[in-house]
Amino acid sequence: MASLATSTLVYSTPVRIKTSSKPGSSSRNCKKTVPFPVTRADSSSLLLDAAKYTVDKHIQSGMVVGLGSGQASGMAIQYLGRLLRAGALKDVVGVPMSVTSASEAAKAGIPLDVYQDSSQIDFAFDDADIIEEETLAAIIGRQKSQADESIIQEKSILSAAKKLVFMITGNKYMGSLEGSIPVLVQALNWMETAEEIDDLFLGDAEV
């Protein structure tokens, strides 16, 4: 488990704000829970507004920022780059979660650093495949076309961040998790892990 941190979920559908416990990331969760606001916008076109809000609200000069992957994250990266070029923010360093986010950040003019286990991440933003309504657990990796190594790095950066934001559309905010849940195993003996997962779900898991 990562250390306790504050998180915000920003996504699009009719406007509403509520307080609940913080989501995790990866297969089920990435962090412990604390209260956080949930902000809803009106349509997918306002996903850009969610991206801008995330940058304006949470990123300050001098921060080390984890740069996520996905549509909203790409918008946030571009907007962050514009603020840096305009001088509204200074000395922000980005730590990309994938090759795609690294490329987008480089084009936007964001200084980059490579993630290491000792990296200190002040803030991170990312897209998510699904947020479970009751637990606010976040699933990432279900729709990724990137290499497994990038997904592992994405999860590591989210875990390391002191504070994180998930930006999603309203249809990804669900009452219950359905379908596949991606599980990455950094081990040669993957069969043992598969059996543990099968036991955990009482035979209902299809590994």
Task: Tell me which residues are annotated as active site.
Answer: 149
Give CA–CA dist 171/37, Å, rounded: 18
The number of residues making up the chain comes to 207
DSSP for 111-175, written as a single string: -B----TT--BSEEEE--SEEETTT--EE-STT--S-HHHHHHHHHHHHHBSEEEEEEEGGGEES
- Pick from 97, 47, 98: which is nearest to 76 by CA? 47
Q: Which of 81, 152, 88, 165 is nearest to 123 (CA)?
A: 165
List all residues 6 or more positions away from 115 whose beta carbon is below 8 Å from its beta carbon. Answer: 66, 95, 96, 97, 153, 156, 157, 160
